[in-house]
Structure 1
Amino acid sequence: MDLLIELFSEEIPARMAAKAREDLKSMVTQGLVDAGLTYASAGAFSTPRRLTLSVEGLSSESRPVREERKGPRADAPPAALEGFLRSTGLSLDQLERREDKKGVATLYAVLEKPGRRAPEIIAEVLEATIRTFPWPKSMRWGSGTLKWVRPLHSILCLLSDESGAHVVPMSVDGITSTNTTEGHRFLSKGRFPVTGFDDYAVKLKRAHVVLDQAEREAAILQGAQNLAFAAGLELVEDRGLLTEIAGLVEWPVPLMGRIAEGFLHLPPEVLQTSMKEHQKFFSVKNPRTGRIEAFVTVANTETVDQGATILKGNLKVLGARLSDARFFWDNDLRVAKAGMGEWLEGLRPVTFHNKLGSQADRITRIEALARDIAPLVGADADVAARAARLAKADLRSAMVGEFPELQGKMGRYYALEAGETPEVANAARDHYSPLGPTDTVPTDPVSVAVALADKIDTLTGFWAIDEKPTGSKDPFALRRAALGVIRLVLGNGLTIGLSKLILSGFDKNREAVALINARWVEAGNPMTAVDMDPTVTSADLLAFFHDRLKVFLKDQGIRHDVIDACLALPGNDDLTLLVKRAEALAAFLKSEDGPNLLQGFKRANTILTQAEQKDGVEYSYGADIKFAETDAERALFAALDAAEKSITPAMRAEDFPAAMAAMATLRAPIDAFFTATQINADNPILRRNRLNLLHRIRAICSGVADLTRIEG
């Protein structure tokens, strides 16, 4: 049997459609399965006015269920017996009496539930789904009690098999199920019956409704690209906007219009953001100049004038929106050309955090940090400090006030208009990056210095006032800031010690906290002072970086225990060095020699550790080859000497693959040694010498990574 469900309503907000599709599918199918039905496949669909679910291969009835419940002993008090009878719905003579090996009689209830027909189950599951559907926001309408995202008009619920299609009888708040639906609001008239999903999809398309979200997206994208290409222009693709628009239309009709000449001088980001946020327009650019010169809007209907009236109305509204943007731009340019001092001064009363001061206070800290960081990343300290001073000035601009997502991007334009160098201007745009795992990492040294300073200040500031992420809560996006630092360091191959940067950030934030606390004291309302041990707090923040690094590297296929093995060695605040070591170790463990050598190392470490604990001494005073008795023992001495000569310079040169390769040569000698040699010999001199030899194995291998932390 196949099941078709459609819940037809007023327009569903586009942002809710994707989750609603998944919720409908999971709630209905899980409800059917819980009730004893099985199915082969299910698919959910949505348009602005409908949620649809198609279930194929549904069983016609649930299987009979036989359940056995153990009750009280036969001689149990009457109250216990009555409670068991109530819970089962049986009478005393319907219970079974069974005796165990000791002759103790116990009562059992055998409950048999016959199978139920699919329509009965479907009606119950669908009603429960509708009444408990998890819309982010819902409403009531008329005099009914039902809540839905928008007024629900009809329910289509149809079962079909070889004998034909049948309506599943049900009613929710006066809305009775039928086998009919309706098409496009304007391009189709009246309701029409359907006999199953295929018939439903075909008839909807005839009624100017494209049921599948993915199909609507593809049609919009192809149509928009064709319009742009025909005009010698290029569509600026935006997947998020495409998904949103496809959720707003049932019959997409792309239309292209030209932007008036008086707005073409505005930065492309301004035009694109204004049209996207206010009008849901795609931007169309001139590929030769990069200017945004046109737009594509998507109508939800066909018109006799091929959309001319729609475009005329859109252009009128767009003109008003872009006039506002031009006004903001012109006024911002006046401030920018005067050096942006007005904006910098305007940041003084803007609170960043009540314990960390204003945005102006924060800029002062970032400026000082950027000056410290600049030499470490190859940037000029004065230029980096200047860039840090101006990087956040655009936060007070009118354009960023209207479109906060343009912060940084507008800062670059304003810095250039103020006569700043491209390095300083680019830092304003780039210092927020990277914002996520796929965002581009800045590479210009000045931008890197300011970006690191910005994120280090954020992290050390909130650590200083004990506002750390807890569980899933991270209100100040500190995990994102830490990941940003990691990607900046690794993406640019920087060999810098994070500990030094963290301490520098803490020093500047401790001064800020002390100053702010003094201000509060003067005002008669002192804050609770933060008692912070810089060394302990720095170690805590460094551990946070290491946790974020594990998450980052896990996505690249490097196991957490490999990272732990490398973290255990000195220099773990140099992330680039740490990752190189981890990558080499991960590759080594995937090689043929890796797992075998690891087992040999662990065997040596276990024997040595047990002997040291038993004897109360440390066997680390140097093994002597003159006490070697077997060829395998002498071969291991030679192999350890050769490996040490190779590993030591390789580690000094940070050539970790070479160090791992040298360590791999120990695999065969260690295996042969354990096969041919008794470690705990009767002769105490031989035993001591061999335990000291095991110490050499542990010491040499542990110089590359702490292999005791590797699992398996």
Structure 2
Amino acid sequence: MANFVLELLSEEIPSRMQKNASKYLENEFIQRISEIGLKYEKIRSFYSSRRLTIIVEGMELYSEEIEVEKLGPRVDAPKIAIDGFLRSCGTKSTKDCTIIHDKKGDRYQFTQKTPSKFAPEILPSLITEIITKFPWPKSMRWGSGSLRWVRPLRNILALIFDKTKIIPVDFDIEDISSNNSTYGHRFLNNNQISIKSVKNYLEELHKNYVILDVDDRKNEILSQLEQIERRHDLKILMDEDLLDEVSGLVEWPIVHIGNFEEAFLELPKEVLITSMKSHQKYFSVVDNKTGEITNKFILVSNIDSMDKGKFIINGNERVLSARLYDAKYFWDRDNAQPLIEKSELLENVTFHKQIGTLSNKIERIGNIAQKISTILNIKDENILLASKLIKNDLLTEMVGEFPELQGVMGRYYALNQGYDKSVCDAIYEHYLPNSPKDKVPTNYLSSVLSIADKLDNLVCFWSIGEKPTGSKDPYALRRSGNGIIRNIILNNLDLNFDHLIEELFIETNICNQGDAPSLSSDLVEFLLDRYRTFLSDQQIDIQIANAIIAADKTSNFYRINSKIKMINDFVQTNEGQELFRSLNRIKNIIDSDYLDTKFEDISVNLFQKEEENNLYTGIQKLTKQNIKSDDINEAKNFLYQLSILTPEINNFFDNVVVNHEDEKIKTNRINLLASVLFLLQQIVDLKLVDIK
């Protein structure tokens, strides 16, 4: 058993590309050596700002002999087809083939044998093909060569270690020859290092200021951050995405703390945090006691300097100061202009060429928001005003610089200009929720505008045929649907979409009017599917949801959700458990066709047992009740009344033979039992759910 190391050393690889590149290299190498029958025990991959590495342990020095069976045409096929098959197999005669018997006739089969080969002989072509066909998102050529790599490739280390022997894997890619050496840290010790073993490779890199494992670099950064927190009695705002990024920017992380002018603390904290993260890759710092942001920042350097980082810190402080002066300039300029005046400028911003401008969208959002507030019986005079302000910060200079602050900055500008707090909150919160873990809007105005905005997206893109397909969702419409569902459920909004959505398709006047009913039905089904996804995340039985949706025939997700919760709660009670056990006994002996049986189908004259009369009397009392399927309290009371039938159902099964020899009596008894299930059909469609 041998070990193998492959390292591709290049100029700096963008941090965002490193992980996927490393994974591709590992997966592609595994696939290719498996195809040629080269066995191994373990493979590990590593990446840093300058190198991609795979280490294979327990690798055989020789590949296995492989037999590949190729099935060919029928023996009576045209000669041209048979000759073509033989050429593809590298032979000229059918005598080299065997004949196998198939349902469609006898066919030729060729068995191709690949002999065992020495690993150093087969790896060069394999690795060369991986490198030359590497699918970088962006790549470049350099010098006079044709090789494309993310940044210029400088060195290839490729060695097999077999006990005490070192076996080179020799190959050339243009002017780069594989060899037995690598290089240390670019600035701290960029010497050539000869490698003698896998262990020696890892140790020598570390001695020369390269931490190869990204997890080790992260842990080193976290350890230094903790030391700074203790030493300065402050708290560093941890950002996992930023930690991933800076871990890919350095090979020997050294963490420093710097300062910026306290005058910049007048800027919103989101501006400070975003400017430091987006432009400079700095961690922000807050006061350990108050939680307020401070004028300190954390940078991760790739150099361990003699002056303990003073020169590095000073340089970064100057750069950050320039960035924050720009932000202060944007802040002052934006505050000097009334936010409402941006509304007219939205007419010049295209939302989508087939849908119209942002100004058109704002008008639609205001219209939808008013309709929703009417359905919810909410009277808020700020709805139209807020709808005219929610997108205006897109034209501010700050959001132009930091698009991720849309909504955030609009809220600050509106507060500074004296708008009602609910309006200011709506400017930010109407974007919520953005993810399954994101919070939802906190007040009715924000919720209504959030739903209106997302519903407008869905209606408009449905109108032009831009629906999500498979894994493709370029306009994040699934996220819009998820946001609507979470907003409704978590804010208990009794909102019925049954007629609203079709009305919006007609009023937007983007689709053909005749297509509005079918588009509306399709969009409602899409939202129902998003709701099912929401339930799956909550680990709620989808069967019950589908059964309730089918029974209610509504798209009022609040009512559906309330009923699901009510039924789940009822099933947890003793009455619920006993009732559903009894109902399960009924459903086990009744065909689903009987679920539509009505009380009138039962003939009292065919009763022979007292238990039949008793069950009939109980059903008769409940049949007189005509509950509203969307009234949760009525449905809950009805379930508890239905549970009173549990003893009668059990007595019936204990004392009455359903499968009577007289067909009329048998059918009548089945109808009697089926009428119990029919009572429950008012609440849940039993054809779609297994009663347990």
Q: TM-score, normalised by structure 1?
A: 0.85
- Contact 2:552-2:683 within 8 A present in 1 as well: no
Question: Are positions 1:126 and 2:112 aligned together?
Answer: no
Matched residues in 2 for 1:18 and 1:319: separation?
Answer: 32
Question: Separation in 1 of the partners of 2:588 and 2:527?
Answer: 29
- Give the stretch that moved more between structures: 324-333 or 458-467: 458-467
**TM superposition shift of 1:684:** 5.7
Per-residue Cα deviation, 1:53-112 (whole angstroms, up to 9, x for no partner) = 1222323323223455677788988767655544444565964777989xx998765544
The answer to whether the aligner puts 1:545 opposite 2:544 as a matched pair is no
Q: Partner of 1:320 in structure 2? A: 322
1:90-101 alignment, distance < 5 Å: 90=91, 92=93, 95=96
Q: Deviations over 1:275-322 (max 9, x none)?
A: 222211111123526234211111110111111111211122212211
**Which whole-Å deviations, capped at 9, do the CAs of 1:652-675 have from their partners, x for residues lacking one?**
434878877877887897688679
Q: Which residue of 2 aligns with 1:335?
A: 337
CA-CA distance at 1:550 after TM superposition: 1.8
Contact 1:275 1:282 in 2 (8 A): yes
Match of 2:404 in 1: 405
The whole-number CA distance in structure 2 between the counterparts of 1:98 and 1:504 is: 68
Q: Percent identity among equivalent residues? A: 35
C-alpha contact 1:647 1:659 (8 A) present in aligned 2: no
**In 1, distance between residues paired with 2:364 and 2:73?**
73
User: Closer, same or farther in 2 for the Cα pair 1:443/1:88, shift >3 Å?
Assistant: same
Deviation (angstroms), 1:176: 2.3
Which residue number corresponds to residue 39 of structure 2?
Answer: 38
Instruction: Give the conservation status (yes or no) of the 8 Å contact 1:157–1:167.
Output: yes
SS at match of 1:247: helix
Q: Structure 2: which amino acid aligns with 1:115? A: S
Rounded to whole Å, the distance in 2 between the matches of 1:704 and 1:97 is 66
Give the structure 2 partner of residue 518 of structure 1: none
The one of 278, 298, 301 aligned to 2:300: 298
In the aligned structure 2, how far is the partner of 1:557 from the partner of 1:290? Answer: 38
Could you say which residue in structure 1 is the equivalent of 2:171? 170
Say whether 1:579 aligns with 2:545: no
What amino acid is aligned across from residue 462 of structure 1 in structure 2?
A: F
Aligned length: 683
1:549 is aligned with what amino acid? Y
Task: Give SS of 1:149's match.
Answer: coil
Distance in 2 between residues matched to 1:13 and 1:361, nearest whole Å? 40
**What stretches of structure 2 of length at least 5 have no aligned partner?**
none
Counterpart residue number, 2:468: 469
Superimposed CA distance per residue, residues 191-211 of structure 1 (whole angstroms, 9 cap, x where no aligned partner): 112233332222211111111
Q: 1: CA distance between counterparts of 2:372 and 2:81? A: 76
Question: 2:552 aligned with 1:570, yes or no?
Answer: yes
Decide whether aligned partners of structure 1 residues 363 and 606 sit closer, same or farther in structure 2, where only a CA change above 3 A counts: closer
Paired residue for 1:517?
A: none
Q: Which position in structure 1 is the counterpart of 2:632? A: 653
Distance 1:475 1:169 in 2: 45
What is aligned with 1:495?
494
Aligned counterparts, 1:132-531, within 5 A? 132-287=133-288, 288=290, 290-336=292-338, 340-374=339-373, 380-503=379-502, 505-506=504-505, 508-510=507-509, 530-531=512-513
> Cα distance, 1:698 vs. partner?
3.6
Distance 1:653 1:457 in 2: 30
Q: 1-side partners of 2:682 and 2:111: how far apart?
A: 67
What one-letter code is carried by the residue in structure 2 that aligns with 1:144?
Answer: G
CA distance in 1, matches of 2:322, 2:71: 76
1:25 maps to 2:26: yes
Code of the residue aligned with 1:608 in structure 2: it is Y
Larger deviation, residues 433-442 vs 166-175: 166-175
Indicate how the Cα distance of structure 1 residues 606 and 47 shifts in structure 2: closer, same or farther if over 3 A, else same: same
**Superposed displacement of residue 646, structure 1:** 11
**CA shift in 2, pair 1:203/1:462, >3 Å:** same
Deviation at 1:350, TM superposition (A): 2.4
1:521 alignment partner in structure 2: none
Q: Aligned AA for 2:528? A: H
Residue 686 (structure 1) aligns with: 665
Shift of residue 186, structure 1, vs aligned partner: 0.9
1:371–1:381 CA contact under 8 A, matched in 2: no
| 1:621 paired residue among 579, 600, 603 | 600
Correspondent of 1:700 among 672, 679, 682: 679
Q: Which amino acid aligns with 1:352?
A: F
Deviations 1:248-293 (CA, angstroms, capped at 9, x unpaired)? 1111111111111231211111111112222111111235262342
Query: Are residues 11 and 642 of structure 1, via their aligned partners in 2, closer, same or farther at CA, if it must alter by over 3 Å?
Result: farther
Letter in 2 for 1:543: E
**Are the counterparts in 2 of residues 503 and 534 from structure 1 also a CA contact under 8 Å?**
yes
Determine if contact 1:608/1:694 at 8 Å carries over to the other structure: no
Which letter maps to 1:226? Q
Length-normalised TM-score, structure 2: 0.88
> What secondary structure does 2:540 align onto?
coil
* Deviates most, 327-336 or 672-681: 672-681
In structure 2, the CA distance between the partners of 1:602 and 1:478, relative to structure 1 (3 Å rule), is farther
How far apart in 2 are the matches of 1:107 and 1:176?
45
- CA offsets 1:583-618 (integer angstroms, 9 cap, x no match): 566789999876995574264233638xx9xxxxx7
Q: CA offsets per residue over residues 516-549 of structure 1, 9 Å max, x none? A: xxxxxxxxxxxxx732455444333211211211
Deviates more, 1:591-600 or 1:485-494: 591-600
SS in 2 for 1:432: coil
What SS does structure 1 have at the residue aligned with 2:423? helix
Determine whether 1:605 maps to 2:591. Answer: yes
1:178 partner SS: coil
Q: CA distance change for structure 1 residues 51 and 646 in 2, over 3 Å: closer, same or farther?
A: farther
Distance in 2 (alpha carbons) for counterparts of 1:204 and 1:227 = 27
The alpha-carbon distance between structure 1 residues 57 and 148, as it changes in their structure 2 partners (threshold 3 A), is same
Partner-residue secondary structure (3-state), 1:126? helix
User: CA-to-partner distance for each residue in 1:372-414, whole Å, 9 max, x for gaps?
Assistant: 4346667541033332232222122111122111111011111
Q: 1:60 — aligned with what?
A: 61
> How many Å separate the matches in 2 of 1:506 and 1:99?
62
Contact in 1 for aligned 2:432/2:450 (Cα 8 Å): yes
Identify unmatched segments of 5+ residues in structure 1. 514-528, 613-617
Residue 679 of structure 1 and its aligned partner are, at CA, apart by: 5.6
1:385 and 1:463, CA in 2 relative to 1: closer, same or farther beyond 3 A?
same
Look up the equivalent residue of 1:395 and give its one-letter code: L
Give the distance between the partners of 2:83 and 2:372, measured in 1 at CA: 79
CA contact (8 A) 2:488 2:558 kept: yes
User: In the alignment, is the contact (CA less than 8 A) between 2:598 and 2:675 conserved in 1?
Assistant: no
CA distance in 2, matches of 1:79, 1:668: 79
Which deviates more from structure 2 when the two are superposed, residues 409-418 or residues 170-179? 170-179
